[in-house]
Amino acid sequence: MKKLLIFSVIAFSFVFASSVSAVAPNWNVTGTWIAQHEFGGNFYTHANNIVQASDGTLTGTGGWNGMQNNILVGTPNTWVIDSGSLVSGDTIHFNYHYTSVETCALNGYVDAVIAVDGSMTGTWHDDCNGGRTGAWTVVSGTAIKNELCPEGYLQETASWQTLTIDCKTGAKISSNSLTNSIPYILEASGTCNWRTPGSSAGYLADADYWLRHDAYGNGWTKMNPGSIAFWNGTSAVNIDWGNFSSTNIYPIVYTPSADGQVTFYFYDDVYSDNSGSLNVNIYKCAPICQPTTEVCDGIDNDCDGLIDEDLTAPSQSCSAGLGACKATGTQIKTCNGLSGWSDWGTCSAVPGTPITELCNAIDDDCDGVADEDNVCMWKCSSTNNDYITLEPEFLSLGTNRWIYTGSAWLKGAIKGGGTGPTFVPTLADTHNCSCSQILTWLHTNLPDQYGEMNGHWKYGCSQSAIQDFIRLADEAPILTGQWLLSVNGGAYMHDMFILTQDETGALTGKGGYPAGSGPTYPSPYNWTMTGSLVGNVINMTIQYQSSYSASISGTVNPSFDYMSGGAGTGGVISWSATRI
């Protein structure tokens, strides 16, 4: 027999009057609330006592309290809500008829929208004098949101997907991919024909119930599987759509256990006399936002509809460039949503422009080294305060004795009728060096001439010591560069490179034999050199790769391009060097 009832049968009495086009109610308006009916610019207060069934249908009473603009102007009257009244989605519609006093109008109705805060506004209509209408506003009481989604979730207003289930063919239709563990609302609605329309044995079907008058049921009868079932690829899987709804709307919560589609179809054994279709609206349950402080994580933490907004980016000071070119700036991080804060961005600092290196204890050319390339060879980059660097006894300076106080040169008091100093030094004269710095240089470079110079350390620099230093500093040659070294009258010609020359006159270099065969000279004729220059007197020690070495000394000419000397060690009889 066609259309057998499978597994279990539950019978319902026949209550169907007409097919209602509606969706599941999102709100419950059960309760007592006050609404104002506006007409002609005046407001009439009505009380409403409403009871809402689970399928959204409404019953109840109400009436006008005789008040116009809060002033008693008439005799109160009452009305009763009629059939066809219901809440559908976010809308409310109810029909009513007057039961007392009102002589002009017999029937009326209200159409309104329920806002997200539960307030209700719309229009009212009645049949007085051919029809009246006006604004309708609830001024006391609100609707309560129906929540099918689990705690912590809220049903999205817009349908995520709508599927049409063909009752005629039983075709399988699949949803978009659902997300594992996210709740969804499956809302089945509508009716179709499972027998030829008008069949005395019953013919209508909704998602879970068939209207039948046969041996298997009388009235709306629950089917198992229901009309709309899941298809698992091989057979039907029943969906329990719940108790019978006179609106034929069945919302249920469905939480998938894995990512993927779900497939629906109309379950029947014979489709030849079926017609029409049913619908399944799918709504997502969105997590309810609990406001917290907004952070950089790609999430709307403060629940204002914006993501990662109004954040203060982490920042830190930074610098660019070296020495005198060093500049400070700021670098910040950028919010990259789910990835969080980025690494530090580019520093905003713009380095200065390098200049030629000066002797000033500053890295003027911005290469990370101050006063390099012998710029301070014969001058001091900064000047000592002799009050600090000399012994305290210098406060009693003798005649012809000088110290630098940190701001000026100071001479000792004239004693015994002496004439005092015959010159006054300046820092320009002394190459920016104080007395203590002059004494250090003279003792280091000319120990045989100046010895320990204890008296100078105790009583200040003599005029002659200062003048000796000035002369030596003024005359000091710069020897760095390439030279051609001739030993024993040209018998041995060497390449020589003086690499460094510091402010004390210390020299370093390298070279090799024979000249012109570098930079890799035949072993063991590569050599290194150390030496010193005091005034125009030069001393050098040459160390070959082997244990062989030679020491030479001589003088440098006034133009600093030629030097020569006599016998030295290591077989040197004479030598000379010419700058290349």
The closest alpha carbon to 86, from 119, 52, 114, 113, belongs to 52
Q: How long is the chain? A: 580
Mean pLDDT of the chain: 86
Q: How far apart are CA 355 and CA 323, in angstroms?
A: 11
Q: How far apart are CA 414 and CA 404, in angstroms?
A: 18
Q: Please tell me the class of the 27-145 domain.
A: mainly beta
Give me the percent of the chain exceeding a pLDDT of 70. 90
Q: How far apart are CA 202 and CA 205, in angstroms?
A: 9
Buried b / exposed e across 523-549, counting CB within 10 Å, b at 16+?
Answer: eebbbebebbbbbbbbbbbbbbeeeee
CATH 2.60.120 fits 153-287, yes or no: yes
pLDDT digits (tens, 9 = 90+) for 122-144: 999 999 888 999 999 999 888 88
- Tell me the β-bridge partners of 125: 109, 133
pLDDT for res 16? 25
Q: How far apart are CA 285 and CA 182, in angstroms?
A: 7
pLDDT at 22 over 60: no
Give the residue range(s) of CATH 2.60.120 domains in the chain. 153-287
Give the residue range(s) of CATH 2.40.128.30 domains in the chain. 481-579
Q: How far apart are CA 11 and CA 518, in angstroms?
A: 113
Q: Please tell me the class of the 481-579 domain.
A: mainly beta
pLDDT at 580 over 70: yes
DSSP string for 173-194: EEPSPBPTT--EEEEEE--EES
Of 135 and 67, the one with more pLDDT: 135
Total-model pTM: 0.40
Q: How far apart are CA 204 and CA 155, in angstroms?
A: 30
Judged by average pLDDT, the poorest of 4-18, 34-48, 76-90 is 4-18
pLDDT digits (tens, 9 = 90+) for 407-425: 999 887 666 555 666 788 9
Average pLDDT over residues 278-286: 93
